[in-house]
Structure 1
Amino acid sequence: MIEAKQLIEINNRRRSELTPENEKYYSDFLIYIRLQFFLSEQQSEEVLMEILDHLIDGQNEGKPASVIFGDDPKEFADEIIRQIPNEDKKNVGRLISGIALNLAGLLLMIRGIILLIISFFKDINTIVYPLQSLVMLGVILCFSLIGVWGIFKIIKGSVFKEKQRNLKDTVLCGTIGAACTGITIGVNYLLPNFGPSFQFTWLASLILGAIIFGLSKILKY
């Protein structure tokens, strides 16, 4: 069986065979199905390849996409989605764990770099509160997922439309991103220090962040 990542690579190559009109039609299908977060990635990519094969075959016979798949592509896509099973819960948990590991590694490395730069200009406080940091990591992860979900929903709502609301959708996506960022910053500002604490230098932060980020890549999250 061809894995999902290989199917994506094959899909990207074969799409170049489509006419501009059919490529636009298929791109809407591809975006709409791939943005269904909880669907099986493997089976979603297999279905997308089948659609692409049918589209290319029909194109070679002189049939446009609207003839092959009908005048209501969204309804056709929804029918396909209903037949694709959900992703295995273990894979969903693995994905969320991977996001958390990547996020933790990046935040620790960013903290280390910022503290290093600031240390050239003034003395810095390197005391950290692990419990508080875990709460903040949870808040950041939560609002990151909420932001991504909201943006994905806006994008899904814009496909299969003749007149795409690019400016309006961009403003809405920006508003969601800004709101989630603002709430996260607000929580960080208002959350009091609590629990045990210890000194955590910029170098230790940078090294630990690099280890966690590297571990997430080794585990192929």
Structure 2
Amino acid sequence: MTTTAFIELNNKRRKELTPQNEAFYKNILLYVRGSNVDQRAGEELLLELLEHLIDAQARGKKAVDVFGLHPEEYCKKLVDALPKASIKQKAILSGSVLSFSGMWLFGLLSAAQLLWPELQPSIAVSHLAAVVMVMLLLPGTILTLLKKSLFTAEQSRIENVIWVITMGFIWLIPIAIIYIVPATFKIEGSFFLYGSVFAVLLLVHFVLEKLK
């Protein structure tokens, strides 16, 4: 079974949980997926835990009865026993994030060029490099904050903060970069250029997702 198949089956089977058990299991899922472990091994473990919880639920038990009162310690022991993510997996993940970010950026530029051709939007290499650096740092930062919030009373508030940070990046950080980072090596683009880059990044992202 492929990693994608594990994820799809997990999504399907998770619907069988009660709201309370699903919320508890979701924290375990986020903890494992946010750890530096082999993705396939992590998904296999998550599905195994889910099946165990579904069986226990059928016998009238709750998630806390299955995983205990200290789920974070329980998760840490499980994660420590899993193989670590390989350099190849990390490279694929980074490439997937960057290609998706590039699709968003060049998609906007293509749309701007198509709708307002008189604007002739250009892009500075320095700005593009700054966006790439932020995109490489942002996922790790978000995962760190998210893992620290799991199984805590402040989880909901911290998740809201993470949502604000993510939305802020999507809409505000690129604008801030344009005004803060000096524009060097400007590329005068066109709809064909930006559209071509978007298409290439879309293909790259599709291939990388298949390799996960």
- Distance (whole Å) between structure 2 residues aligned to residue 63 and residue 29 of structure 1: 17
Distance 1:65 1:148, change over 3 A: same
Q: Look up the match of 2:23.
A: 24
- Distance (whole Å) between structure 1 residues aligned to residue 102 and residue 109 of structure 2: 10
The structure that has the greater radius of gyration is: 1
Measure how far apart 1:110 and its partner are.
Answer: 1.4
User: Which blocks of at least 5 consecutive residues in structure 2 are unaligned?
Assistant: none
Structure 2 residue corresponding to 1:174, chosen from 164, 176, 195: 164
Give the counterpart letter for 2:113 in structure 1.
Answer: L
The alignment covers a number of residue pairs equal to 210
Q: Residue 27 of structure 2 contacts residue 150 of structure 2 at CA under 8 Å; is this kept in 1?
A: yes
- Distance (whole Å) between structure 2 residues aligned to residue 203 and residue 40 of structure 1: 39
Q: Look up the match of 1:113.
A: 111
> Hey, which bits of structure 1, 4+ residues long, moved more than 4 A?
125-128, 179-184
Give the counterpart letter for 2:131 in structure 1.
Answer: I
Q: Look up the match of 1:66.
A: 64
- Distance (whole Å) between structure 2 residues aligned to residue 171 and residue 219 of structure 1: 29
- Distance (whole Å) between structure 2 residues aligned to residue 198 and residue 65 of structure 1: 55
Q: Look up the match of 2:12.
A: 13
Structure 2 residue corresponding to 1:204, chosen from 179, 193, 211: 193
Q: Residue 40 of structure 1 contacts residue 84 of structure 1 at CA under 8 Å; is this kept in 2?
A: yes
Q: Look up the match of 2:135.
A: 144
Output the aligned Cα RMSD.
2.9
Q: Residue 112 of structure 1 contacts residue 206 of structure 1 at CA under 8 Å; is this kept in 2?
A: yes
User: Which blocks of at least 5 consecutive residues in structure 1 are unaligned?
Assistant: none
Q: Deviations over 1:146-201 (max 9, x none)?
A: 3333333332233223x445245414542575379655434333444445x66432
Distance 1:58 1:169, change over 3 A: closer
Give the counterpart letter for 2:84 in structure 1.
Answer: N
Distance 1:116 1:82, change over 3 A: same
Measure how far apart 1:24 and its partner are.
Answer: 2.4
Structure 2 residue corresponding to 1:41, chosen from 29, 39, 42: 39
Measure how far apart 1:46 and its partner are.
Answer: 0.8
Measure how far apart 1:218 and its partner are.
Answer: 4.3
Mapped pair 1:56 → 2:91: no
SS in 1 for 2:116: helix
- Distance (whole Å) between structure 1 residues aligned to residue 23 and residue 49 of structure 2: 14
TM-score, scaled relative to structure 2 = 0.81
Q: Deviations over 1:46-80 (max 9, x none)?
A: 11112112222323333333232221111101111
TM-score, scaled relative to structure 1 = 0.78
Mapped pair 1:214 → 2:196: no
Q: Deviations over 1:12-68 (max 9, x none)?
A: 2222333333222212211221122x3211000111112112222323333333232
